[in-house]
């Protein structure tokens, strides 16, 4: 099977193409919110074989970058009838074995989840700093995967003397983890909508000041 992975949930984006278990090519893009230009240029240069499966790293992370990757994948899908699956980027933590994953959820909050090759991704909890500290003390993990480098979260872990590894998601790792995951998790991901992993429900509030053209 030919597998293309696009990981753009962070500023350090990447693309990888595998044939079965063999890496054919991989590229990195470091363009922040301008992933679309670099991803398209990279695919134009490298994608000479139609992918059977396209994996999108769905975060959590940069929602704009993830949506760009989904749109590009859907365009390829129309041409080559490829299957497109959103796989949480958090699965990249399994490459270094720790299963407890935490990260900065912004707004003064943090997120916590458990990742497993057999049970998948547990419900993501968004916690205050106090609640996170309490949870970590209670569970006493031997090691934690920190999703992206973050000074605030590192300070919490250091204060609790909990060892940690910083995880940066990568397209190649995404493919390796997909191949290691159980069939049940494959089926679950296949049934999941193509959208970013939201730490909070998407805001559906209407603008209080509509665009002038909308009130004509």
Residues 184 and 157 both lie in one domain? no
- In this prediction the pTM is 0.88
pLDDT at residue number 132? 97
76 and 116 both lie in a single domain: no
Give the mean pLDDT of the chain: 89
Please state the separation of Cα 91 from the chain's center in Å.
Answer: 8
What kind and span of H or E run contains 5?
strand 2-7
Of the candidates 181, 170, 10, 4, which has an alpha carbon nearest to the alpha carbon of residue 84?
4
Q: What is the pLDDT of residue 138?
A: 94
> Residue 17 and residue 171: Cα distance in Å, rounded?
9
Q: Are residues 156 and 144 in the same domain?
A: yes
Same-domain check for residues 76 and 174: yes
Return the structure tokens found at 85: 């699956």
The count of structural domains within the chain is: 2
Regarding whether 85 and 176 lie in a shared domain, the answer is yes
pLDDT tens digits for range 133-177 = 999 999 988 899 999 899 999 999 999 999 999 999 999 999 999
Confidence band, pLDDT 50/70/90 cuts, at residue 31: low
82 with 174, same domain: the answer is: yes
d(CA 66, CA 10): 9
209 part of a folded domain: no
Residue 212: pLDDT over 60: no
197 in a structural domain: no
Instruction: Tell me what percent of the residues of the chain surpass a pLDDT of 70.
Output: 89
Q: Is 201 within a domain?
A: no
62/95 same-domain check: no
| Residues 82 and 14 placed together within one structural domain of the fold | yes
Domain that residue 35 falls in: 2-89+169-190
Mean pLDDT value of segment 105-118: 93
Residue 177 counted as domain residue: yes
Q: Are residues 114 and 137 in the same domain?
A: yes
pLDDT value at residue 160: 96
- Domain containing 108 — which CATH number? 3.30.420.200
């Amino acid at each position: 099977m030919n597998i293309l992975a696009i990981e753009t949930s962070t500023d350090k984006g990447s693309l990888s193409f595998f044939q079965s278990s063999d890496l054919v090519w991989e590229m990195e893009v470091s363009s922040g919110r301008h992933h679309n230009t670099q991803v398209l240029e990279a695919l134009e240069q490298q994608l000479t074989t139609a992918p059977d499966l396209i994996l999108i790293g769905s975060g959590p992370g940069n929602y704009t970058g993830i949506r760009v990757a989904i749109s590009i994948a859907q365009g390829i899908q129309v041409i080559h009838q490829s299957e497109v699956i959103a796989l949480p980027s958090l699965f990249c933590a399994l490459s270094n074995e720790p299963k407890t994953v935490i990260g900065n959820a912004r707004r003064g909050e943090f997120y916590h989840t458990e990742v497993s090759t057999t049970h998948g991704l547990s419900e993501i909890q968004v916690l205050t700093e106090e609640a996170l500290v309490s949870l970590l003390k209670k569970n006493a993990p031997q090691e934690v995967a920190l999703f992206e480098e973050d000074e605030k979260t590192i300070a919490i872990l250091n204060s609790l003397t909990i060892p940690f590894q910083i995880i940066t998601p990568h397209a190649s790792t995404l493919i390796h983890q997909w191949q290691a995951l159980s069939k049940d998790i494959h089926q679950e991901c296949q049934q999941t909508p193509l959208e970013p992993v939201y730490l909070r429900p998407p805001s559906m509030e209407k603008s209080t000041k509509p665009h002038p053209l909308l009130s004509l």
